[in-house]
Amino acid sequence: MDVAKHAGVSLSTVSRVMNGNPTVDAALAGRVRDAAAELGYTASPLARSLVLGRTQTVAVVVPDLGNPTFQAVLRGLSRAAAADGYHVLIADSAEQVGEERVLAIETRRRTDGLVLCAPRMPEEELAALLPQVGPVVLVNRTLDGAPTIAAEYGTALRALAEHLHDLGHRRLVYLAGVARSASNAARLAALAEFRAAHPDVELTELASGVDFDSGAAAADAVLATRATGVLAFNDLVAMGLLSALADRGVRVPDDISITGFDDIPFARYTSPPLTTASVPAADLGARAWQAMTAALAGTDAASSVRLTPDVVLRGSTGPAPA
């Protein structure tokens, strides 16, 4: 009321100016802002949310908050959102597919939009869910009906496999991730292409997981294949395998070469440093926010943005042993 009186305008005009309504005359809006500055007035975020009918919050559902890659995605998204005055509500499904739908619906009720990061649910369930939770953005999952921000996992894994082949490795193992993971499916498709191009290679797939313990538990199975090169689903799995092989006196890369995937912050500090593919996770998060702001504004967002990870060669890979 004091700002309205000082500027000589109505309360509704003050409200429209402070909420960023572009229909207010520029000179009038300037007068209101000057009056607010003189009086030390700042708009209440809660009041602004009530006026706009928005919470200024978006929800993000991730499969595993313990994974540094998802942490990086969240960091990129939350920083970009904060710069636009938004908050981020985070929910972790703990790799439980049944929890994803529940979390998506519940968090969307409390927020203005939803980002689903690498959802594991089957395609038909995800397609049925999207209309219930829009606006929604998908990260590392492609489906018609929602903007998609994803990394080219298959392209990068194929490059890692070619790297091992160039080093002379002809007996390889792939430690697979979660069967329902879209990124695991992309990896498997890339490895099928690699097999077709290199009939001289024996490539064995072993069920594993996505964490350190999964890699460590796979050590004996890997050694039983007599493979000289291992493609791990991600860096955590590769690190677990590195540790378990060291306990068994197996030398990396003299006896066996290992590659990871993601290039999490610890990858360069393993012993030896881990050859991997560097996923631009923070950039994925920032671009997911760009797609979300477009969706919130009702403008057309890019239907698909795909980023290719860079292969990073370090000490965990070397020539195949004689």
pLDDT, tens only, 269-304 = 999 999 999 999 999 999 999 999 999 988 765 568
Can you give the residue ranges of every domain in the chain?
A: 2-52, 57-151+281-307, 153-279
Q: Which of the four pLDDT bands, split at 50, 70 and 90, describes residue 20? A: low
Residue 211: count other Cβ atoms within 10 Å of its Cβ. 20
Match 């590659």 to its residue by tokens.
259
Backbone angles phi, psi at 254, to 5 degrees: -60, -45
CA distance 136 to 126: 11
Determine the average pLDDT of the residues in 203-215. 96
Q: How confident is the model over 71-92, as pLDDT tens digits?
A: 999 999 999 999 999 999 999 9
Question: Rounded to a whole number, what is the distance in angstroms from the first to the last CA of the chain?
Answer: 84
Question: For residue 216, what pLDDT is reported?
Answer: 98
CA distance 277 to 156: 6
Residue 141: count other Cβ atoms within 10 Å of its Cβ. 20
Question: For residue 44, what pLDDT is reported?
Answer: 46
Looking at the chain, list the stretches that DSSP marks H as alpha helix, in order from N- to C-terminal side.
2-7, 11-18, 26-39, 45-52, 68-83, 97-109, 123-133, 153-166, 182-197, 212-217, 219-224, 235-247, 281-297
The amino acid at 12: S
The reply to whether 2-52 and 57-151+281-307 are identical in fold is no
- % pLDDT > 90, the chain: 75
State pTM to two decimals: 0.79
Q: Which CATH homologous superfamily contains domain 2-52?
A: lambda repressor-like DNA-binding domains (1.10.260.40)
CA distance 259 to 237: 10
Top-level class of domain 153-279: alpha beta
Q: How many CA atoms lie within 13 A of 249 on its CB side?
A: 0
Predicted confidence (pLDDT) at residue 50 exceeds the cutoff of 80: no
Instruction: Look at the domain 57-151+281-307 and name its fold.
Output: Rossmann fold (3.40.50)
Q: Which has the minimum average pLDDT: 112-121, 179-188, 257-266?
A: 179-188
Question: For residue 181, what pLDDT is reported?
Answer: 84
CA distance 146 to 152: 18
Determine the average pLDDT of the residues in 4-32. 69
Predicted confidence (pLDDT) at residue 46 exceeds the cutoff of 50: no
Q: Which has the minimum average pLDDT: 100-104, 145-149, 194-198, 248-252?
A: 145-149
Q: Which two tokens stand for residue 87?
A: 């908050």
